Structure 1
Amino acid sequence: MRTQSIAPLIALLLSMPVMAADEVRSVTVQTNQLASAQTIQGTITGYQSADHNVQVAAGQTLTVHLDTSNTSSYFNVTAAGADQAMFIGSTSGNDYQGVMPSSGVYTIRVYMMRNAARRDEVAKYTLNIKIK
C-alpha cells in the first residue's frame, strides 16, 4: 500500500524540468593597495557570470567602468559578507565610483540579464577597475 501512495509523488518529481545551475567564474584581481588600475577582458555566455574579487581598504575609492558588446550585460559591486549588492548596474548603469566603508574583498560580478541569458547570448567585455 505504501508504494501506491508514493508513486504519484515520484512521477511528479521525475516530470519536473531540471534547472541548470548558473556558472560563476571567479578571478582575483591583483592590485597595489596605494593606487592601482586594472583592465580585464572577458566573455560570458548565457547564464554565466564572472566575479572579479578586489582587496580594498576602508576609505579608498573604488572606480569601475564596464564596456560591453551586449546591452543586456552589467556588473554589481558587493562587499565581503554582504547579503545585497551596494551597486546594481542594471538600474544604475555601467559606471561606479564610491568610497569603501570597510576593508575587505569586494566582488565585481559581470552578468547578463535573463532576457539575453535565456537566448544564450554572448557578451564580450572590458572591465576597468581603479583603486585610489
Structure 2
Amino acid sequence: MIRKLTLAAILLLAAAPSIAQAPIRSERVQFARGASAKAIKAAIKGDQIVDYMVGVRAGQTMTVSLKTGNASNYFNITAPGAEAALFIGSTSGNSHSFRVPSSGDYAVRVYLMRNAARRNETAGYTLTISVK
C-alpha cells in the first residue's frame, strides 16, 4: 500500500506542469558624458524581468521613477550583495530617492506583478535613473 502511494505521488509530480520563468535580462546603465540622469524607454511582456545595473558610490543620492500605462508594472531596488530589496515598488509606489549607503552596483528590477504576467500583458515604460 505504501509503495503504491509513493509511486502515485511520484507520477503526479512528474506529470505536473513545470513553472517556467523567463531568464532575467541584465543591462548596464551608462550616463552620457556630463549627465547624471538617464531615461530608459522599453517594454516587458508576461514574466520578463529586467535588471538595470547602476554603479554608485556611498553618499550619492539615487533617484528612480517609473512611468507606465500598466498598473501592474513596478520596480524594486536591491543593494550590492543583498538578498532583500531595499525598495519594493508594489508596496511603496513608482518613485524613490535615497542616499546610497555603500558603493557598488545597485539593481533596479523592472517587472510585472504575477496577475499581469499570467495574462501575458505588455507594459511599455520609461524608467528614469538619476545619481548625484
Measure the CA separation in 2 of the matches of 1:121 and 1:22: 14
What are the equivalent positions in structure 2 for 1:21-32 lying under 5 Å apart? 21-31=21-31
- Among all aligned residue pairs of Structure 1 and Structure 2, give the percentage whose two residues are the same amino acid: 52
Q: 2:49 matched to 1:49?
A: yes
- Per the normalisation by structure 2, the TM-score is 0.89
Which amino acid in structure 1 is aligned with residue 93 of structure 2? G
Question: 1:18 matched to which residue of 2?
Answer: 18
Q: 2:78 matched to 1:78?
A: yes
Where does structure 2 lack aligned partners over 5 or more consecutive residues? none
Corresponding residue SS for 2:8: helix
Where does structure 1 lack aligned partners over 5 or more consecutive residues? none
Q: 2:72 matched to 1:66?
A: no
Could you say if the C-alpha distance between residues 5 and 70 of structure 1 is closer, same or farther in structure 2, counting changes exceeding 3 Å?
closer
Moved over 3 A (4+): 3-10
Q: CA deviation at 1:24?
A: 1.3
- Per the normalisation by structure 1, the TM-score is 0.89
**What is the total number of aligned residue pairs between the two structures?**
130
CA RMSD of aligned residues (A): 2.1
